[in-house]
Structure 1
C-alpha cells in the first residue's frame, strides 16, 4: 500500500568553501539542521558555476538527510538542481530513488523551498510504498 503525504518544516544551513580543480566552478561542503515535520541533520556538497552577481549561475548538490519525517526515522538522499537566469532563481529537490533506509525505505518525492525573511521553509511531497 502506498501512502502519499506532505510534511512541512524549515532548515538552517552552514556552508564552507572547499577546494576544487575544476576551472570556473566553486565547491562547498554544507551541513543543515532541519526542524518541523522534517527533523534531523543533513550533510552534503555543492558545485556551482556562473556569475551570481550578474544574475546568471547554476548549482548541483547532493545531501544525506538523517532524521525523522512525520515520525518515521531513517536516512535518504536529496538531489538538488538550481539556476539563476536574468536574476530569477529556481530550484528542484528530489529524493534519490532507492536511497531511503529504515522506516523511510521506499520513499519517493520532491521538496519545495521558499525563503521568507531569510528563513528556508520547505514542503516535502512524498510517497512511501
Structure 2
C-alpha cells in the first residue's frame, strides 16, 4: 500500500432529517484535491449520522460516493469510490473501494481499496490497486 494526501477544497453540509438535540442525519457535498498515487480532483457526497445532542458520529459509520478525475500511476481517466467513514473528536477514519466498472479511459478496469485518516483539511489515504493489464 502507498501513503498519500488529499485536501478538502469545499464542504457544504445540510440537515436532512431530525433536530440538533435528537438523532439526525445530514447530507454533505465536498470537493477534494488528491496528490500522490492519485493525482486529481473529486466531488463527494456523504450521508452523516449524528446521535442526539452530540456533534460527532460517536463511532457510527456513514456512507459516501466520490467521483475522482485525474490519474492513477500515470494513467488518466475517472473512477468512482464508495466510502464508509467514521468521525469523532479525534478526526476521520474510513475505508473505501473502487466501484467495479466505474473506471474510464486509461483507468478502465481499475480495482482496489484503501483507507482515509486524519484530523485536518489535509488528510492521508492509502490505496492498494490494480490497473487493467497488470
* TM superposition score normalised by structure 2: 0.77
2:4 to 6, 9, 21: 9
* Count of matched residue pairs: 122
1:88 Cα deviation (Å)?
9.5
Q: Which has the higher strand share?
A: 1
Q: Corresponding residue for 1:92? A: 95
Distance in 1 of aligned mates of 2:87 and 2:39: 29
Q: Corresponding residue for 1:42? A: 42
Cα deviations by residue, 1:16-44 (Å, 9 ceiling, x for unpaired):
11463x44210011100111221100002
Cα deviations by residue, 1:42-77 (Å, 9 ceiling, x for unpaired):
002110113354624331100000001110000000
User: Given the alignment of the two structures, is residue 104 of structure 1 paired with residue 99 of structure 2, yes or no?
Assistant: no
| Greater relative contact order structure (CA < 8 Å, 6+ sep) | 1
1:119 Cα deviation (Å)?
3.3
Distance in 2 of aligned mates of 1:50 and 1:34: 27
Query: Which 4+ stretches in 1 moved above 6 angstroms?
Result: none
User: Given the alignment of the two structures, is residue 74 of structure 1 paired with residue 77 of structure 2, yes or no?
Assistant: yes
Q: Cα RMSD between the aligned structures?
A: 2.6
Which runs of no fewer than 5 residues in structure 2 stay unpaired? 19-23
Q: Is the 8 A contact 1:76 1:104 kept in 2?
A: yes
Which runs of no fewer than 5 residues in structure 1 stay unpaired? 1-5
Distance in 1 of aligned mates of 2:26 and 2:104: 31
